Chain A
Amino acid sequence: MRVTVTVNDSPVAADVEDRTLLVHFLRDVAGLTATNVGCDTSSCGACTVLLNGQSVKSCTVLAAQADGSEVVTVEGLAADHGDMHPVQRAFQAEHGLQCGFCTPGMVMASVSLLAENPSPTEGEVRTALEGNLCRCTGYHNIVRAVLAAASERRTS
């Protein structure tokens, strides 16, 4: 079927099999390979993107379900002139990544969290990232990064 998705503000249209998953549409059709396929069972969160502003696991959404929708991947966070998004800057400053595989999903889940709850407690950050697994077990710095991003937003 014909699927058109606005990805990072640009329309991407293609004829794809009805069973195409959104994550494969993003990686193979749109050519945006930052979004990783991890567990492929909606457990690990590596494939997290924003669909109409909310975090979703793109391995468990059909491209057809996203037809006509807005998707943001981690490639779409930085400003046009290259400045990183506050959450990206905070992950860098707080060493919120080790191998980096979970990072695109962690960043997108964090962006979604801060949109819904701009001033989360540490406990709320940990709960909100329950659906994102870090295989390096680097959770402490990830949580610090999210709290730092929230703090920066409040003061800027």
Chain B
Amino acid sequence: MITAPFTYKRAASVDEALNLAAENGEEAKYLAGGHSLLPLMKLRLAVPEILIDIGRLGELSYIRDAGDHIAVGALTSHNDVARSGLLASELPLLAHSAGQVGDPQVRHRGTIGGSLAHADPAADLPAVILALGATLVTRGPSGSRDIPAAEFFRDLFETALQPGELLAEIKIPKPLGRGWSFQKFSKRGIDWAIVGVAVQGTSVALINMGSTPLRAAAVEQALGAGFGSREAAAHAAEQTNAPDDLNGSRTYREHLARVLVGRALEESRSRS
């Protein structure tokens, strides 16, 4: 399969990328690692006329300790996130979960920013970012914006990014020595999660239980009220809207959510 024809343009700087996007309007899309976009283009589910390749913007590939938070450049590959010593000590949930995305080949090309901007509710990292209470920093024609993760994911494949706006950095507050866990259930290692869960302290976020990654608010409330892991996990499917598809019915996913949240809370507790 090949994609529909398009014009390829490569940006040498963030400013050039923003200018190219402004010149080409809604017919243009940014291309980072391409591991979400190119498969969609092969299926003609995405048919951009212009691709602006931002994949070589080294200025957006970094992991830095910024005191009270860690700053991760949007073009940092999953592999670099997974292998970062800084993240392993400060944000083990992020390092571990990045190492669970796809397979090694995908992790060599795929980027954290690309995964977040694509906003697939079945993807691993959007829920992780939500559980970590991160802030997404964008660059656009009218300057820079900080968007809390809770306001970034709007709907299926829809984010708060405006046309031409570029996700530049993810700022993640350092958690205060609390437990964490990442659990996902899939048929094969390379598949998207049928259901997954990310836990950091008392924050719990669900993968593939709705049209966006979701905070499991009822679970968090139960934990806050002093209930144990098992009692809290019983609330995991409340206020969710799980898909019903070939990989599982909604009822099955709701069951999985309760099971996985229970396991994740236990594992998180064992690490705290």
The residues of A that contact B103 with a CB separation of less than 8 Å are: 45, 130-132
Query: What band does the interface of chain B fall in when counting residues whose beta carbon is under 8 Å from A?
Result: 20 to 34
Give CA–CA (A21, B170) in the complex, Å: 30
Q: Is the CB of B2 within 8 A of A131?
A: no
Q: Is the CB of A40 within 8 A of B1?
A: yes
The residues of A that contact B31 with a CB separation of less than 8 Å are: 62, 65
In the complex, what's the smallest C-beta–C-beta distance from A39 to chain B, in angstroms?
10
Q: Is the CB of A1 within 8 A of B104?
A: no
Say which residue of B3, B5, B108, B189 sits within 8 Å of A56 (CB atoms).
B108
Which residues in window 1-28 of A have CB below 8 A to B?
1, 17-21, 24
Q: Is the CB of B5 within 8 A of A17?
A: yes
Q: Is the CB of B53 within 8 A of A57?
A: no
Q: Is the CB of B104 within 8 A of A128?
A: yes
Chain B CB within 8 A of A41 CB:
yes
The residues of B that contact A73 with a CB separation of less than 8 Å are: none
Chain B CB within 8 A of A33 CB:
no
Give CA–CA (A35, B42) in the complex, Å: 19
Query: What band does the interface of chain A fall in when counting residues whose beta carbon is under 8 Å from B?
Result: 20 to 34
Which residues in window 1-60 of B have CB below 8 A to A?
1-8, 10, 31, 34-35, 38-39, 42, 51, 53, 55
The residues of B that contact A45 with a CB separation of less than 8 Å are: 103, 105
Chain B CB within 8 A of A88 CB:
no
In the complex, what's the smallest C-beta–C-beta distance from B215 to chain A, in angstroms?
29
Q: Nearest chain-A residue to B191 (Cβ)?
A: A43
**A1-B8, A19-B6, A61-B109 are known contacts. Are A42 and B35 too (CB-CB below 8 A)?**
yes
Q: Nearest chain-B residue to A20 (Cβ)?
A: B2
Q: Is the CB of A18 within 8 A of B6?
A: yes
Per-residue B-contact encoding for A87-115, CB less than 8 Å = 1, 0 else: 00000000000000000000001001100
Chain B CB within 8 A of A48 CB:
yes
Q: Is the CB of B6 within 8 A of A112?
A: no
Chain B CB within 8 A of A119 CB:
no
Q: Is the CB of A131 within 8 A of B104?
A: yes
Q: Nearest chain-B residue to A37 (Cβ)?
A: B1
Which residues in window 21-79 of A have CB below 8 A to B?
21, 24, 40-43, 45, 48, 51, 54-57, 60-62, 64-65, 67
The residues of B that contact A65 with a CB separation of less than 8 Å are: 31, 34, 53, 55
Say which residue of A24, A41, A60, A127 sits within 8 Å of B189 (CB atoms).
A127
In the complex, what's the smallest C-beta–C-beta distance from B140 to chain A, in angstroms?
24
Q: Nearest chain-A residue to B7 (Cβ)?
A: A18
Q: Is the CB of A109 within 8 A of B8?
A: no
Q: Is the CB of B4 within 8 A of A48?
A: no
Give CA–CA (A64, B3) in the complex, Å: 14
Closest 10 CB pairs of A and B: A131-B103, A130-B189, A18-B8, A54-B108, A130-B103, A64-B8, A57-B105, A19-B3, A55-B105, A131-B105
Between A and B, 8 residue pairs with Cβ closer than 8 Å are A1-B8, A18-B51, A41-B39, A42-B106, A54-B108, A112-B105, A127-B189, A131-B102
Interface residues of B (CB under 8 A from A): 1-8, 10, 31, 34-35, 38-39, 42, 51, 53, 55, 79, 102-106, 108-109, 188-190
Known: A42-B105, A131-B103. 18 other contacts (CB 8 A): A18-B6, A19-B8, A24-B2, A43-B190, A45-B105, A55-B108, A57-B106, A60-B38, A60-B109, A61-B34, A61-B38, A62-B8, A65-B31, A65-B34, A65-B55, A112-B108, A113-B104, A132-B103
